[in-house]
Amino acid sequence: MFTCSIPASPTVQQDDADNASPRWDFPPGASTGWHEHGLALCGGMLTDAQMHVHDGEQVAIIPRRAGESYARPAGIRHDVKNGGEAPMAFVEIETETACGLRDCFQNSCALPSSSRKRGSLAPKVMGSDRFPLPRE
């Protein structure tokens, strides 16, 4: 776990029975503190960043670009730190939808199969052919 001398700042954008969506802002060196999410989530970077993620044993140093997305399964205990020299910000979305984040994103269950053609300019959800999820 990181020493949390500078806390990251969450701003709740939505929090209801179906969804939770905080925006997280990290000055350089800030961290969230040790936590885990009860639901799978998808996040989107608002800034370029050097994200450090501690899993209790190792620290992964992950360069991120504004506009990139990431996913995390439920139940993973971790601590996130801004390891860069500039502010870091992202939005995360946890949902209780019927098919769940990972299933929806990987299978594009919210869209008819005709809109899932590779290279198509049709709207797609993240994790579809056009917006694949990162692989562990």
Q: What pLDDT is recorded for position 97?
A: 58
9-96 classified as CATH 2.60.120.10: yes
Q: What pLDDT is recorded for position 3?
A: 73
Q: What pLDDT is recorded for position 1?
A: 62
Per-residue pLDDT tens digits of the chain, which is 136 residues long: 677 789 999 999 988 877 889 999 999 999 998 888 888 889 999 999 999 999 989 999 999 999 999 988 888 899 999 999 999 999 999 887 544 444 444 443 333 333 333 333 233 333 334 334 444 4
End-to-end, the C-alpha distance of the chain in Å comes to 21
Q: Where are the beta strands (DSSP E) in the chain?
A: 9-15, 19-26, 41-45, 49-54, 59-64, 69-72, 79-82, 88-95
- Where in the sequence of the chain do the CATH 2.60.120.10 domains occur? 9-96
DSSP secondary structure string for all residues of 71-102: EE-TT--BEEEE-SSS-EEEEEEEE--SS-HH
Q: What pLDDT is recorded for position 25?
A: 97
Q: How far is CA 29 from the centre of its chain?
A: 19
How is residue 53 written in tokens? Answer: 């993620």
Q: What pLDDT is recorded for position 127?
A: 39
